[in-house]
Structure 1
Amino acid sequence: MKRLLKAAFVAMTGMSVWAASVAYALPEQGGLGMVPAGSALAEEVHFFHNAVLLPIITVISLLVLALLLWVVFRYNAKANPNARKFSHNTLIEVLWTGIPIIILLVVALPSFEILFKEGITPDGKQVVSRGDGQTVDFVFPNDFPESRMASRAGHLQVILDDGASRTVLKNKRDYSVDGWGERDLVVSLNDPAPVGTSVIVRGGRSTQNVSGCPTIKRYFDGCEKEVVLEPTMTLKVNGYQWNWQYAYPDFGDFDFFSNMMPEDQTTPELYRFEVDNRVVVPVGETIRVTVTANDVIHSWALPNFAIKIDAVPGRINETWFRAEREGIYYGQCSEICGVRHSYMPIAVEVVSRPAFEAWVDSQRALAGLEPMFDTDEVKLAQTANADAAAE
């Protein structure tokens, strides 16, 4: 009963709590709520479901139930031996036509926005400059296609990074912008950036709420927005009966197959979730995902990132995600594809950038390629990975 009340509270308020443990990224046995969101976009999807769809369908269900009970007890044969005959009621007909239209508009408008964000791969970019204690004007090339040019304050972010922390500046209070809709935007700081501070200007129409925005702010669209940068890499996904093939074309086009781990080689909690070769991606970076299939229709689904995209033979579908937290996220094929359909799990491991580069170099070595990121940071990450494996 306690679990039921907790799940109902989470569902109705849109609130969720993130736990750092890997197991928390799994679906909860017997759980009623959604799996924890691993990206800001997934948080928006969950909020839309919990704060918009769920209350609406709850009210409709209760109203219909009340009307049914009222009709059963008020208009049964015993209470009304003489049936009344009438053909129409103008007021009722206007209400049962008008109210559903209003409900559909309330559902449609935010859903269109979310679908647009999910369907358009972000194209935002950033320009990094160095503060010298004197310069206040910084130029951002607004060289997007005309329909995608930054044209208002929400399409631009200005961030100061001193190496230890980041400060997001406020439009008008901390800076002003000239040239909206033109090829070059001039960002003028009210105060010069300190010496050695990085001035980061991000621009583009691909925006989303900042991760972790409180529920109450979401109700009033008061969440801080951020520009989502263009992808730093492409992940190619190919579905087979019955496993997944992954390739990294930006890093030498090495590829590997991912199969479900046998039951005796994993834990009961991870059985049918864990795989022998996980997808590895860097945290905080936009990942383009292209999906196709080799034989029949499959579906690449990652609930933590609100992703479910069909893998269709002869066709390439595209989606994207940006993981906000490190960890391991699990999904499964969500299109019935044959007798071993339930044996096609998906495991995505989100790691730091140095750890990702170390992993890329290890995969390139397996493919007989030279290292791409043979740096001190990568070597330290490789040593840490080796020590962790030894333990």
Structure 2
Amino acid sequence: MKAVFKRLMTMAGAAATFAGVSTAALAAESGIKEWQLGFQASVTDVMDDITWFNGFTLVIITVITLFVLALLIVCMTRFSAKKNPVPSRTSHNTMIEVVWTVAPILILVVIAIPSFRLLYKQLDIPEYEMTVKAIGYQWYWGYEYTDENMGELAFDSLMIGDPSDPAKDLAARQEVADARGVSLNEVPRLLSVDYDLVIPVDTTVRMQVTSEDVIHSFAMPSFGVKVDAIPGRLNETWFHAREEGVYYGQCSELCGKAHAFMPIAVRVVSKDQFQTWATAAQDDLDTANQQLLASIADTKKLAAAGKLEEISVAAK
């Protein structure tokens, strides 16, 4: 009887866990959460290197700060006026001069080598499998899939909600959440958009970025991507997302009164899902998005059911 009770409790806990999948999906997929400190979760090799380099420089800065603090404390205690009523007349020390000239040079070299390697990795676009063009407008983004097999697929992506009115904003986001069959958490305030940029997983994507009016900046933290959108100029960058999910960014160049309401949402899906979506989107984008969301929901249910079955088997 005790074993049966234990098994039922285990299954109930698993069911409760998966019942909360939709409400926790934002944090699980995009790597962001409220009051977050630090970077968003990395899903590209470039962002992995950025995260490592940030930690690497932080260690160096911490060591330097503690060393300087120790020197200050030593100077304040050892060379105070009480202990040295007659001040020293030492004008210089050759060894100290050499050390504090050479040491900073060596530190800068140590920082520069991985920095240049990372910069080259960001700027050197590898052989890519597809191209997407992002166009900045005041104050939204437009996307064009420029590959021949994508036809003339293009759409604008506008923020959902009304930031000037909390009640209207909540109602608008709830309406979209209901239409998509997801929780309100999966339509985050100031970040969700009506049409996500859909990208296949494990695919090297070349991003071409430009603007139609003023300077904007296309920034996607989880991908390690940030590139200016400049009128009359076509800038390029790239990314290779290795995990499915929805990832959020924002325009990162002050571009006018609604700059804060110009989000970027990239939905990374399986290659099969993307191919189905791309084919359908060329005829009807809204229907294609509905079918894509339904496919993603079915995949999550199957994954949850499989996980629940594994837990049940383990409980036996």
Counterpart CA distance in 1 for 2:141 and 2:104 is 43
Q: 1:65 to 1:383 in 2, by over 3 A?
A: closer
- Give the corresponding residue for 1:294: 212
The question of 1:361 aligning with 2:279 is answered yes
The question of 1:235 aligning with 2:153 is answered no
Aligned equivalent of 1:80, options 84, 109, 112: 84
Q: Deviations over 1:241-298 (max 9, x none)?
A: 1111111011123211111110323346710111111000000010000111111111
Secondary structure of 1:365's counterpart equals: coil
Q: Alignment RMSD, CA only?
A: 2.4
Conservation of the 8 A alpha-carbon contact between 2:157 and 2:196: yes
Cα distance, 1:386 vs structure 2: 9.5
- Give the corresponding residue for 2:153: 254
Q: How does 1:15-54 map to 2 (within 5 A)?
A: 21-24=25-28, 25-50=30-55, 52-54=56-58
Q: 1:295 to 1:87 in 2, by over 3 A?
A: farther
- Give the corresponding residue for 1:92: 96
- Give the corresponding residue for 1:222: none
- Give the corresponding residue for 1:345: 263
- Give the corresponding residue for 1:70: 74
Q: 1:255 to 1:96 in 2, by over 3 A?
A: same
Counterpart CA distance in 2 for 1:336 and 1:83 is 54
Counterpart CA distance in 1 for 2:293 and 2:210 is 36
Q: Deviations over 1:303-344 (max 9, x none)?
A: 111111111111111100000010011111111111111101
Counterpart CA distance in 2 for 1:88 and 1:382 is 72
Q: Deviations over 1:118-148 (max 9, x none)?
A: 10110xxxxxxxxxxxxxxxxxxxxxxxxxx
Cα distance, 1:73 vs structure 2: 3.0
- Give the corresponding residue for 1:321: 239
The question of 1:385 aligning with 2:299 is answered no
Amino acid in structure 2 at the alignment position of 1:30: W
- Give the corresponding residue for 2:112: 108
Q: Deviations over 1:13-54 (max 9, x none)?
A: xxxxxxx9442324333333321111122112212222x211
Amino acid in structure 1 at the alignment position of 2:154: D
Conservation of the 8 A alpha-carbon contact between 2:208 and 2:234: yes
Counterpart CA distance in 1 for 2:251 and 2:91 is 51
Conservation of the 8 A alpha-carbon contact between 1:299 and 1:308: yes
TM-score, scaled to structure 1: 0.59
Counterpart CA distance in 1 for 2:107 and 2:262 is 38
Q: 1:76 to 1:296 in 2, by over 3 A?
A: farther
Counterpart CA distance in 1 for 2:223 and 2:42 is 6
Amino acid in structure 2 at the alignment position of 1:385: S
Conservation of the 8 A alpha-carbon contact between 1:26 and 1:330: no
Counterpart CA distance in 2 for 1:338 and 1:85 is 59
Counterpart CA distance in 1 for 2:293 and 2:27 is 25
- Give the corresponding residue for 1:14: none
Amino acid in structure 2 at the alignment position of 1:43: D
Cα distance, 1:56 vs structure 2: 0.5
The total of aligned residue pairs comes to 250
Which consecutive residues of structure 1, in runs of 5 or more, have no partner in the other structure? 1-19, 123-229, 368-377
Amino acid in structure 2 at the alignment position of 1:234: T
Counterpart CA distance in 1 for 2:90 and 2:270 is 70
Conservation of the 8 A alpha-carbon contact between 2:26 and 2:32: no
Secondary structure of 1:86's counterpart equals: coil
Counterpart CA distance in 1 for 2:68 and 2:35 is 28
Conservation of the 8 A alpha-carbon contact between 2:198 and 2:266: yes
Aligned equivalent of 1:333, options 247, 251, 255: 251
Q: 1:41 to 1:288 in 2, by over 3 A?
A: same
Q: Deviations over 1:95-137 (max 9, x none)?
A: 1111111111111111211111110110xxxxxxxxxxxxxxx
TM-score, scaled to structure 2: 0.73
Structure with greater helix share of residues? 2
- Give the corresponding residue for 1:128: none
Q: 1:237 to 1:70 in 2, by over 3 A?
A: same
Amino acid in structure 1 at the alignment position of 2:101: T
Cα distance, 1:77 vs structure 2: 3.4
Cα distance, 1:85 vs structure 2: 3.0
